[in-house]
Structure 1
Amino acid sequence: MHGPDLVSWLLAALTAASGGYCLSRLRRAPCAAVAAPAVPGAVPGARRGAAPGRLHAHEADLAEGLMGFGMATMAVAGTAVPGEVWAWVYGPPAVLLVLAAARWPDRRAHRLHHAVGALAMTYTALAMSAAGGHAAHHPAPGSPALTGALLAYFGGYALWSGSRLLSGSGGTAAVASAGLPRACRLSMGIGMFAMLLTM
């Protein structure tokens, strides 16, 4: 990522902290937060229903943790990591998320949002890699239309997420359970917007 070094390091610190928080939630979140659909003859609490519950409870945290640490690394390392590496890191999860969104309607919007984020990370990395050694002096040669569409998406997402965060109410427990995750999503939306803005 090209731009002032201070901005890159601040972006890296913000997204790494957000990613670390999301991954730390994996230990605290219940393993069966969302119950699996009832199956005739199944024993309540059987192992069959635990795996879908665990997937639903931790899927977003895993995706957001991967996104946060990826943005932090990209902001600091720039083109030191080849774009193809990022494509292999983010491409398969994006495909899996799209397939899961098509197969299961619950949490479809969340899965599609994370898929867009993973594809945006891949696109940004490949564009920066294509710029080569001139990335520090010239914009990355991405598609202006695609860059503009992603900027509009993440800018809109940041505004929407920020408005939800500001409109939230409740005590300390409510802030911890809903406010911090929303703040992390907001920071990563802003981070993705900032990375795209430098292209």
Structure 2
Amino acid sequence: MSSADSASAWLLVVLCAASGAYCLRQVRRSGGAAAGEAVMAFGMALMAVPLGDRGGWQALLLAAVFCGAALHAVWLLRAGVHHAHHLVGSLAMAWMALTAAAGYGHGGGPSLVTGLLLLYFAGYVLLGGTRLVAAAGPAQGAYPPAPTELTRACRLAMGMGMLAMLMMM
């Protein structure tokens, strides 16, 4: 791994850990959704740590954590379909951990599943970026009451982190 790749990976670790810390602060106010986002952010930070080749057991442990997060996301779906993103994110992280455990990735191009996840998160980042810009602009009343701009920025950062991790596969 080159020093530029290592620096990028560590920046992604810091970004995801900071997002996780912010989400933990929001747990009391928002309930289960922020807890799921915190688990995802800290898990993304762990997966982004540049440790070279991870052992299979570490990747399987991360996959188990993300499968648990996916079950939590399924539980959150009771409150509405807007929680489906948590499910997609959890399953994407489990996918990346399982492919790391199996030794796939880093060569041969993306699989169909990875390609679909790349498309989903690219769209999520673009949509999240436009919403963040619109919320900061003069037409603040255009959306129904939504999370603060900092929460939107946190979600956007996590989406960009997920996109970066998928592109590195």
TM-score band, normalised by shorter chain: 0.7 to 0.9
- Structure 2: which amino acid aligns with 1:159? L
- Could you list the structure 1 runs, at least 4 aligned residues long, displaced by more than 3 angstroms after superposition: 140-143
The residue type equivalent to 2:34 in the other structure is D
1:3-22 superposed matches below 5 A: 4-22=5-23
Residues 1:153 and 2:120 are matched in the alignment: yes
- Deviation, 1:77, is 5.1
1:85 to 19, 38, 61: 61
State how far apart, in whole Å, the 2-side matches of 1:169 and 1:73 are: 31
Instruction: Tell me the TM-score normalized by structure 1.
Output: 0.70
Counterpart Cα distance in 1 of 2:47 and 2:121: 17
Query: What is the aligned residue count?
Result: 158
Other structure's SS at 2:49 match? helix
Deviations 1:117-168 (A, max 9, x none): 111111101111222xxx8xx7167961000000000110011011000000
The 8 Å contact of residues 16 and 44 in structure 2, kept in 1 or not, is answered as yes
Consecutive unaligned residues of structure 1, counting only runs of 5 or more, are: 30-56, 172-176
TM-score, normalization by structure 2: 0.82
Q: What is the CA RMSD across the aligned residues, in angstroms?
A: 2.8
Q: CA deviation at 1:98?
A: 2.4
| Distance (Å, rounded) in 1 between the aligned partners of 2:21 and 2:38 | 6
Question: Are the counterparts in 2 of residues 127 and 141 from structure 1 also a CA contact under 8 Å?
Answer: no
Contact 2:33 2:76 in 1 (8 A): no
Aligned to 2:156: 186
CA gap of 1:93–1:142, structure 2 versus 1, over 3 A, is: farther
Gaps of 5+ in 2: 139-146
Please tell me whether Structure 1 or Structure 2 has the larger radius of gyration of its CA atoms.
1
Q: Residues of 2 paired with 1:20 and 1:121: CA distance? A: 19
What residue in structure 1 maps to residue 96 of structure 2? Answer: 124
- Counterparts of 1:65 and 1:82 in 2: how far apart (Å)? 20
Whether the 8 Å CA contact 1:130–1:141 is kept in 2: the answer is no
